């Protein structure tokens, strides 16, 4: 349930004065272009300019086709999760090995075989979402508004900075795997009574692009604003595509990530029908068990992760704090099965190899991987085998799964795990794998992080995410130098 108690001063913002209403926020006026010479007149074979120009000015400027690619850095982090409603408390709890898996309270599931999830029990909307919107919106949109605004605040984008931004060069790409499942479910229940009972917001508040759209409307950001739905790889797809907008020179700043609020009766029942969920109801905190032989399925989670990606020189000019550099990544498809990964891992291997090649990163430089590892035996082991195919000769490699503590956030998973990867670079600590009590006999426990946090000087961090439909993704971060 969402509620609105008072916030601590360092996080308190007024919805009416910051990031919410554009009153008082000025748009940067485009610079006036220099006057262009009028067309030359050709008479008697001679060219006469209307006004004098030097010979140098008449020679077209040659473009350097080897111009250095624009670099992308992370300057802000936002997260709403079952174990913390900002990026830093979230990561602090990860390092302590705190689990967010509990009994479901959002609806009556007493007759369900699965009665546990990593549910967000309470979340303050005060100062982040107007009361009217907080009453109407689906959870996935509320999570995105809060995480997005907290990412901006964390990135030092205050009212003063906002007034100086060219908002046509600021974009938003926050995706969702399932979108407004609760709003859609309520609409279907209403229409069974009568079409007149249908909420007029049922359609706009259920479609996945609306999280980005509302952020754009509240911030006045006029660059690209859209969503990508690639199942559980959604977050990574959004991050990589957002970075590409910056690299191409279209945009200077992108808010990007993924959001999901699908712990509803329909959502849980749907995954139960596919026999994907853990039924360890008596021990909720031990239910999510990546790479453990006693795992019996994944645990649904909910929340949102948002990164502020920014062009390096733009970030330096405004004196932004730089958490890490985004190196790039790769996306591809297994083209094999709607739910099962390819048995030989060819899609995952190809995705990782292409990511390394495109970023110019050597295999031995990747010494930390935040894996997809959902706590499904087949999926975990096929991903592990593909990763070891690529990195088995790297003695420094360490790997963990954030899902052991927060469950599987579906379309938000990759984004929240990207936040964790960036925080690992910043802090020099990588979080534990909890519940790894009986590791699968095929895994090398020296590669997997143990039950406690570990120190690691990260050279390059990789985050992997995969989704129903065969979607594969791999993205890379490194310390900014």
Catalytic positions, written as ranges: 232, 372, 408
Question: Contact at 8 Å (CB) between 306 and 257?
Answer: yes
Q: Per the structure block, which two tokens stand in for 414?
A: 């990759």
The angle subtended at Cα 341 by Cα 347 and Cα 392, nearest 5°, is 60
Least Cα distance to 252 among 156, 165, 169, 155 occurs for: 169
Burial 82-113 (b: 16+ CB within 10 A, else e): bbbbbbbebbbbbbebbbbbeebebeebeebe
CB atoms within 10 A of CB 118: 28
Question: Contact at 8 Å (CB) between 372 and 413?
Answer: yes
Which residues on adjacent β-strands are paired with residue 306? 78, 257
Alpha helices (H) along 2-86: 55-58
Least Cα distance to 296 among 308, 312, 304, 284 occurs for: 284
DSSP string, 266-292: HHHHHHHHTT-B---TT-GGGS--TTB
């Amino acid at each position: 349930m969402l509620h609105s108690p008072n916030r601590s001063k360092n996080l308190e913002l007024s919805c009416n004065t910051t990031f919410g209403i554009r009153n008082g926020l000025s748009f940067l006026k485009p610079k006036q272009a220099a006057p262009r010479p009028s067309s030359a007149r050709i008479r008697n074979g001679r060219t006469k300019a209307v006004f004098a120009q030097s010979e140098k000015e008449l020679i077209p400027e040659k473009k350097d086709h080897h111009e250095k690619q624009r670099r992308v850095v992370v300057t802000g982090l936002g997260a709403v999760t079952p174990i913390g409603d900002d990026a830093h408390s979230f990561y602090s709890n990860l390092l302590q090995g705190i689990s967010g898996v509990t009994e479901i309270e959002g609806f009556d599931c007493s007759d369900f075989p699965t009665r546990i999830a990593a549910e967000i029990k309470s979340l303050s909307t005060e100062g982040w979402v107007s009361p009217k919107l907080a009453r109407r919106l689906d959870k996935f949109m509320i999570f995105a508004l809060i995480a997005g605004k907290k990412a901006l605040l964390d990135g030092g984008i205050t009212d003063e900075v906002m007034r100086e931004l060219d908002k046509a060069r600021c974009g938003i790409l926050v995706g969702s795997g399932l979108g407004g499942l609760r709003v859609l479910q309520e609409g279907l229940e209403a229409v069974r009574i009568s079409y007149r009972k249908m909420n007029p917001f049922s359609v706009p508040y259920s479609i996945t692009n609306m999280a980005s759209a509302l952020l754009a409307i509240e911030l006045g950001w006029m660059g690209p604003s859209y969503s990508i739905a690639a199942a559980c790889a959604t977050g990574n797809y959004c991050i990589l595509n957002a970075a590409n907008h910056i690299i191409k020179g279209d945009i200077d700043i992108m808010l990007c990530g993924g959001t999901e609020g699908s712990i509803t009766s329909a959502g849980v029942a749907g995954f139960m029908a596919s026999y994907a969920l853990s039924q360890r109801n008596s021990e909720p905190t031990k239910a999510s068990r990546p790479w453990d032989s006693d795992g019996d399925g994944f645990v649904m989670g909910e929340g949102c992760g948002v990164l502020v990606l920014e062009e390096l020189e733009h970030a330096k000019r405004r004196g932004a704090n730089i958490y890490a550099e985004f190196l790039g990544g790769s996306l591809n498809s297994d083209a094999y099965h709607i739910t099962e990964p390819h048995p030989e891992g060819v899609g995952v291997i190809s995705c990782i190899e292409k990511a390394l090649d495109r970023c110019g990163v050597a295999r031995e430089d990747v010494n930390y991987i935040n894996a997809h590892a959902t706590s499904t035996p087949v999926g975990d082991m096929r991903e592990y085998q593909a990763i070891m195919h690529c990195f088995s000769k790297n003695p420094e490699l360490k790997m963990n799964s954030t899902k052991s503590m927060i469950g599987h956030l579906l379309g938000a998973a990759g984004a929240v795990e990207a936040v964790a990867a960036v925080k690992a670079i910043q802090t020099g600590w990588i979080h534990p794998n909890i519940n790894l009590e009986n590791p699968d006999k095929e895994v090398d426990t020296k590669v997997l992080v143990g039950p406690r946090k570990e120190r690691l000087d990260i050279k390059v961090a990789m985050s992997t995410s995969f989704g129903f439909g065969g979607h594969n993704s791999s993205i890379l971060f490194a310390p900014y130098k």
